[in-house]
Amino acid sequence: MQRFVNTLENHLKPVPEDARARVLLAAAYVEVGRAEDAMREANLAMALRPNEATVLYNLACVFCKLEKKGEALETIRKAWSAGFRESDWARRDPDLALLRGDPEFEMLYPETGKH
């Protein structure tokens, strides 16, 4: 995982505006126990792409892994508004386990066939 972190850090030096790489780096930082760095990268990615559905969805996953439920819920709400409406995917994504059972998450991403 550290090799992946190094690769992403090196990639971002010449292209610091790559929000998707910043999301990946944030997730990798979570995995290696660098929570503050993960939050910094997540916030940068959100600033770079505040309306991109997949970036927001993946940031919600990062916030869940950091056990930041409020930030995760706010971000998944933004992802839904930006167009990420894949209930089946969101409901089975292990990274979003922290949000399951929350009334707002359940309303945004209902079980298939329930609206």
The helix (run of H) or strand (run of E) holding residue 54 is helix 53-65
Note the pLDDT tens digit of each residue in 43-100: 999 999 999 999 999 999 999 999 999 999 999 999 999 999 999 999 999 999 999 9
The model's pLDDT over 9-50, given as tens digits with 9 standing for 90+, comes to 999 999 999 999 999 999 999 999 999 999 999 999 999 999
Give this prediction's pTM.
0.93
Q: Extract the tokens encoding 20.
A: 């998707």
Query: Domains in the chain, please, with CATH?
Result: 2-108 (1.25.40.10)
Exposed, middle or buried: residue 63 (CB in 10 Å: 0-12, 13-18, 19+)?
buried
Give the separation between CA 52 and CA 24, rounded to whole angstroms: 15
